[in-house]
Homo-oligomer: A and B are copies of this chain.
Amino acid sequence: MKKKVSLKDIANRVGVSTALVSYVLNNKKEGRISEESARKIREAAREMNYRTNQIARSLKTNKTFTIGLVIADISNPFFSRLARIIEDEAELKNYTVIIGSSDEKPEKFCKLVDTFLDKQVDGLIIAATDGTESCLNELIENNIPFVLVDRYFPAIHANYVALDNFKAAFTATQHLISIGCNNIGMVTYDSPLFNLTERKKGFLAALKENGNRNNRSRLKEVSLKARQDEVEKAVAHLLSSAQPVDGLLFGSNTIAVQAVKYINTLPLRVPKDLALICFDETDSLDLFYAPLTYIRQPLEDMARQATAILLDRMDKNNKITQVNIEGELIIRKSA
């Protein structure tokens, strides 16, 4: 490896101290440095192709200009889009993002957070996982700047930016009712994560408001890492009861894709026989003959706000900011 050029090398070549070189290249002490020296130093730096060693700088300044982003899985389109926007947003402020996938496993989550902290990230943006409360509390205790996105815990007093999931599910369910569905079911995750329980609550509340009884039996839960067959079973069950469902709300786009794949094989027409709505946009459902009506999460907005809150928190502010964003029901052919 061609040895890297350091401040010292420039200093030696020009015949000045490293301090002066540092001042010049960082534009400090403006006006107190002779044109002559400044010129010579800049010239040498360019010629020698000097690049500052951020590691050394970070050690001294205690600032890495790096943000850690912890999500469930970067290969999930929801998170990869979020990541992309955060990346762009951070770049505007000269920050780099390091990303880690927790796979919804609390141990992996904590390990990632630790790794990121060891690397001295300036702050964290976190899509939490069930069972990570203690880890988050530790962050708070150690006064480490972070913002939760998408998922948060009501018991943890921290910055967050998340969808108003209750309202979104409520609205979606009401829409199904309004278009004439009489037996509405929901397939969602079996998880105590607050954003997911809120979706269930919103669904049930909308049904209740419309005098619907016997709600529980129409709410089917699948595991967080549900594969195709588990979702199929859930849908099949809802369709084969005494009063088969004529409307379905899916708790995530992943579930929706799996469910629609299955429904597509059945002698059912959407939305005539079965109306469908899901959470999150995803163009994988655009090619279905009845593109799905969905609840759009304003990702740009969420990512932008999360980044802004984090940067704000990092450089001074100690107040907690909690943002609930409204989803938007995008009505298409399926409901």
* Residue positions of A touching B, CB distance < 8 A: 1-2, 51-56, 58-59, 64, 66, 73-77, 80-81, 83-84, 87-88, 96-101, 114-120, 141-144, 257, 260-261, 264, 282-289
**Complex: A118 Cα to B54 Cα, angstroms:** 6
When the two chains form their complex, are residues B55 and A119 in contact, meaning their CB atoms are under 8 A apart?
Answer: yes
Picked from B88, B115, B283, the residue with its CB within 8 Å of the CB of A284 is B283
When the two chains form their complex, are residues A80 and B87 in contact, meaning their CB atoms are under 8 A apart?
Answer: no
**Complex: A285 Cα to B260 Cα, angstroms:** 12
**Complex: A100 Cα to B88 Cα, angstroms:** 9
**Complex: A142 Cα to B2 Cα, angstroms:** 6
When the two chains form their complex, are residues A101 and B84 in contact, meaning their CB atoms are under 8 A apart?
Answer: yes
**A114 contact set on B, CB distance < 8 A:** 51
**A287 contact set on B, CB distance < 8 A:** 257, 260-261, 264, 284-285, 287-288
Picked from B76, B118, B285, the residue with its CB within 8 Å of the CB of A52 is B118
Given A51-B114, A54-B118, A283-B257, CB of A143 within 8 Å of CB of B1 = yes
* Nearest-Cβ distance from residue A91 to partner chain B, whole angstroms: 8
A54, A116, A143 interface centre (most CB from chain B within 10 Å): A54
When the two chains form their complex, are residues B283 and A54 in contact, meaning their CB atoms are under 8 A apart?
Answer: no
11 cross-chain CB contacts under 8 A: A53-B118, A54-B119, A74-B80, A74-B83, A75-B80, A97-B98, A98-B98, A98-B99, A264-B289, A285-B287, A289-B289
**Complex: A250 Cα to B109 Cα, angstroms:** 39
**Besides the known contacts A52-B118, A53-B59, 17 further A-B residue pairs in the complex with CB atoms under 8 A apart:** A1-B143, A1-B144, A2-B141, A53-B118, A54-B119, A59-B59, A66-B98, A66-B119, A74-B80, A80-B80, A80-B83, A96-B100, A98-B98, A99-B99, A261-B286, A284-B286, A288-B288
* Nearest-Cβ distance from residue A156 to partner chain B, whole angstroms: 18
Residue of B nearest to A88 (CB): B101
